[in-house]
Amino acid sequence: MSGAVTSVTGDSSFNEVVLQASTLVMVDFWATWCGPCKIIAPVVEELAKEYAGKVTFAKVNTDENPDLASRYNIRGIPTLIFFKNGKMLEQVVGAVPKGQLKSKIDSLM
């Protein structure tokens, strides 16, 4: 994981990085054993570099943070949830193409 994507571990870092952010935040809920998660990981990294300073990108390992996964009703991974001003706006489930994620980010900014 590059410096462009923040690893979130536990409630306190989730609150700080995601819920208290004033910009749009995309949170990638993933796990190490998940094939589609490995496919989308480089896309998330690329987007984090492209939107640096405009959008915050975070990753939550669902195996290490089951309470966060449960709180946001994560049923399948990868699940990407978009937050703004502490509110959940939308979510995308599965390894979707980069263009689709860019469109979603642009529409939510």
What amino acid positions are annotated as catalytic residues? 34, 37
Residue 24 DSSP SS3 = strand
Close Cβ partners of 73 (under 8 Å, ≥ 6 residues apart): none
Q: Using an 8 Å Cβ cutoff, are 47 and 105 in contact? A: yes
Q: Using an 8 Å Cβ cutoff, are 78 and 91 in contact? A: no
Q: Which residues pair with 26 in a beta bridge?
A: 57, 82
Please tell me the distance from the alpha carbon of residue 61 to that of residue 59, in angstroms, as a whole number.
7
